Amino acid sequence: AQTVTQSQPEMSVQEAETVTLSCTYDTSESDYYLFWYKQPPSRQMILVIRQEAYKQQNATENRFSVNFQKAAKSFSLKISDSQLGDAAMYFCAFSGNTPLVFGKGTRLSVIA
Amino acid sequence: DAGVIQSPRHEVTEMGQEVTLRCKPISGHDYLFWYRQTMMRGLELLIYFNNNVPIDDSGMPEDRFSAKMPNASFSTLKIQPSEPRDSAVYFCASSLAPVLQGAELVYGYTFGSGTRLTVV
């Protein structure tokens, strides 16, 4: 079974600085998708960024980028120029031949 | 499209009562998922449907839980009888299978706003 591990329960970052959230996963599949979701206090699950395993190029979405290391099964999220609105729970998720499997999440605080 | 719509947003009920949570997926999405979120266990998949047919219900915790999808635009998750340990946020999500958009295979889930269930 696939597992997703987020080893940082909590992180904090100064406004305008950069922070990296870690995620590792375990799978025997070769084709799969990886995601980062943001959950603010409103509890809405918001897709931040997506990476297809067949792509070597790391995905980027404005201030959000990933470092995808397929051999190491690592998928970290980098947030640049952090803003107060980035404060939330961040979930790493995996989907291959089965539905999304989530990590336990990292709570990100942004300090003004 | 209005996105995935869940109701109610909040539900407080007494132990032993029946609870029904509702979900309207995005039109045209052929997969529907029910997840439960708790502090202890995080986000867990309860059951998912493909074209209205239940595919995997191995995540349903007990026989007290049941889910149906009578048509492509509606699904319910029922708990009968409810217990305090069922208190959680229940999410519905829908998706398409990966689709080719240009040169890319695009794939993703859209989540509803969730139902916060409190059983007292």
Mean pLDDT of chain A: 94
Query: Inter-chain contact A42–B113, Cβ cutoff 8 Å?
Result: yes
Tokens of A77: 């999220």
Chain A, chain B: beta-carbon pairs less than 8 Å apart: 46
Mean pLDDT of the A77-99 span: 95
Phi-psi region of A62 (alpha: psi -120 to 50; beta: other; left: phi over 0): left
pLDDT confidence bin for A9, thresholds 50/70/90 = very high
- Among all residues of chain A, which has the CA nearest to that of B49? A99
Mutate which of B109, B117, B118 to disrupt the A interface (most A C-beta within 10 Å)?
Answer: B109
pLDDT at res. B104: 62
- Among all residues of chain B, which has the CA nearest to that of A54? B105
- Could you read off the pLDDT of A29-74 as tens digits, one per residue? 888 999 999 999 999 999 999 998 888 899 999 999 999 999 999 9
C-beta atoms surrounding A19 within 10 Å: 20
- Could you read off the pLDDT of B31-82 as tens digits, one per residue? 999 999 999 999 999 999 999 999 999 999 889 999 999 999 999 999 999 9
Burial environment of residue B39 by CB neighbours within 10 A (0 to 12, 13 to 18, 19 or more): exposed
> How much of chain B exceeds pLDDT 70, in percent?
92
Instruction: List chain A residues with CB under 8 Å of B25.
Output: none
Q: Is the pLDDT of residue B1 over 80?
A: no
Q: Is the pLDDT of residue B29 over 80?
A: yes
Backbone angles phi, psi at A63, to 5 degrees: -80, -5
Q: Is the pLDDT of residue B20 over 80?
A: yes
SS3 call for A84? helix
- Write the CB contacts of A71 (distance below 8 Å, at least 6 apart in sequence): none
Which among B33, B98, B108 has CB closest to A99?
A: B33
What's chain A's Rg over C-alpha atoms? 13
Which among A42, A98, A102 has CB closest to B42?
A: A102
Tokens of B15: 């132990």
Mean pLDDT of the B12-17 span: 97
Which among B42, B110, B114 has CB closest to A105?
A: B42
Mean pLDDT of chain B: 92
Query: Inter-chain contact A50–B107, Cβ cutoff 8 Å?
Result: yes
pLDDT at res. B70: 96
Distance CA A31, CA A41 (A): 33
> How much of chain A exceeds pLDDT 70, in percent?
100
